A and B are shown apart, each in its own frame.
Chain A
Amino acid sequence: MINFDEEIKKFQPAVEMEQLENNIYKNDFNDVADVLIEVMKQAQQPPQNYE
């Protein structure tokens, strides 16, 4: 059964012209290479001591 309230929540607002710049920065996500570099950086850091 279609639940209108649940279904309408799935719809996200459309991007407007004013939001274009923010959308560009937000959209430029990291790829696998960025993730690998980040992992290597974290691996090179000394382990933190937790009390």
Chain B
Amino acid sequence: MNCLYCGAPVLINDVCSACGLKQEYLIKAWNTSLYYYNTGLEYARIRNLTGAEEALKAALRYNKANIDARNLLGLVYYETGQVFEALAEWVISSNYQPEENLAARYLKMVQGNQNKLSAFDQAAKKYNLTLHYAQQKNFDLALIQLKRVLNANPRFVKAYLVLALIYIQEGNLDKAKKALQRVLKIDKYQPQAHYYLEELSKNEKHYTSRSTGMEYDDRFDLKATDDEDTEEEELDEEENAKRKIREIIERGAAAEDIGGDQNLEVGSYQEIKYGKHNVLYLAAGLLIGIAAMFFLVMPARVRKISEENMDLKTSYSMELSDKNITIANLQDNNGKLQSNLDTLKQQMEMMAEENSAGSVNDTIMSGVQAYMEGKHQDAIAALGGIDLTDGNLSETTKNCIQTIVNGCSDELDTCRSAGMTAYGAENYQEAINQLQIFCNLKPEDAEARYNLAKAYENVGNVEAANRLYQDINTRFPDSDYVTTMYQ
């Protein structure tokens, strides 16, 4: 067996060989320590935190290495807002038992949030300053500081007690009672709070009379203790801490069977997850932006585009209508102009025919005049342009011309001979000139017409040549000059 205190072997007389302690005393001391720990645990379960603190301190006096008692004492301190006292207990606990110790986890959780730890430190400093102001009766400054202290550390029992004391001193009993009720909510059997409340109920008139002539101070109003919403939020935040205190209670209850009734509440020290919040804010911002785009910007944009399209369509329709009207007008004008043109053409043709008839008459008259003057050659030259086979010539005109032709037969023979000679000499143009006069005035000479056709053919006037070939075939079908060899 080894010594419970130093670990050295124990002698047969139950005394440690190294430290000399009798093991019986040590066992009794450790049992007493466990007894006080269990007592403190029971007190903590019924929220008698002051009683729990005293019992746990006693447990540590009998065995300073009672880890569970020390850890629970730290939790009691933390619950009553004494954060650095709690940290001290947990540090000592971790020092005694570095492994498998809940205190290490508590330390990590509290020290992990440096912002909150710094706020607790500032609250402790301001509380100390408040005590200084209160001792100097400088209640205004004390109340201002207390407001800041309780905002940073809302479970600081001592601060509530000082606040209540100041309110009592100022005669503001309602607020004092409210502060004391808040204390009793954290620590049900807090003796100072009970003492102050008892005194207030006994001597209320006395404390109220103090406020006569004093201005009511409403600078710092406590939140209502029955504010259930606030309480629920606090309870949610403290769920983790509750679970931890249950664990240590169950661990430390080795000497006694602990029931399942867990009404103990402790302070909160949950770390704020800023990164998660940032992502949420970013996602919410994006959603709001997209929604605003969808519901505000897009409809206006679509409406504007629709209006532009409608305007464009209207302008195109108007332009198309104008064009159609213009086209209809132009078509109408075109029809009128075409009819005018046709009318003018007919008039021109009629005038040309009248001019032509006039010209033939003039030619005949000049031919007749030359013949009557005895100028037979000139008469033939003047009449040579008139074809006696022309259907337009009247019978009178034909007879007149025929009379002149009979009178000028010698000159016509000469003309025929000159034409034949020119044709024989392959002077086709001269042959055409002479033979054309002869054939016009003597249309019954098939040979002369044939030679004239050949002369035309040789100069390339195929149309005139064919006309003459057809005439020969029609009027002289039995002659030797009938031919089908023309083009």
Spell out A's residues near B (CB within 8 Å): 1-2, 4-5, 7-11, 13-17, 19-20, 23-24, 27-34, 36-37, 40
Contact = CB atoms under 8 A, between A and B. Distances in A.
Interface string B196-230: 10010001001100000000000000000000000
B199 A11 contact: no
B92 A7 contact: no
Nearest to A13: B128
Interface stretch (B58-66, B288-296, B451-459): B58-66
Which residue, A1, A7, A32, A34, has most C-beta atoms of chain B within 10 A?
A32
* Shortest 7 CB-CB contacts between residues of A and residues of B: A15-B84, A31-B64, A14-B124, A17-B121, A32-B29, A13-B128, A23-B88
B121 A16 contact: yes
B21 A11 contact: no
Q: Name B's interface SS.
A: helix
Interface in B31-78: 33, 60-65
B158 A11 contact: yes
B128 A28 contact: no
B237 to A, nearest CB: 22
B125 interface: yes
Interface of B: 5, 19-21, 25-26, 29, 33, 60-65, 82, 84-85, 87-89, 91-92, 117-118, 120-121, 124-125, 127-128, 131, 134-135, 156, 158, 161-162, 165, 168-169, 192, 195-196, 199, 203, 206-207
Given A28-B64, A37-B19, A15 B85 contact: yes
Contact of B131 (A5, A13, A30, A31): A13
A27 B60 CA distance: 11
B29 A14 contact: no
A17 B161 contact: no
A15 B82 contact: yes
Nearest to A18: B121
B23 to A, nearest CB: 11
Contact of B89 (A9, A17, A27, A37): A27
B21 A33 contact: yes
20 contacts: A1-B203, A2-B165, A2-B195, A4-B169, A11-B161, A13-B127, A14-B127, A14-B128, A15-B82, A15-B124, A23-B85, A28-B64, A31-B60, A31-B62, A31-B63, A32-B63, A33-B21, A34-B64, A37-B20, A40-B21
A50 to B, nearest CB: 28
A30 B125 CA distance: 29
A32 B58 CA distance: 11
Given A8-B165, A11-B158, 4 more contacts: A1-B206, A17-B120, A19-B84, A36-B25
Nearest to A44: B20
Contacts of A30: 64
Contacts of A13: 127-128, 131
A11 B89 CA distance: 21
Nearest to B77: A15
B82 A14 contact: yes
B286 to A, nearest CB: 41
B168 A16 contact: no
Contacts of B65: 31
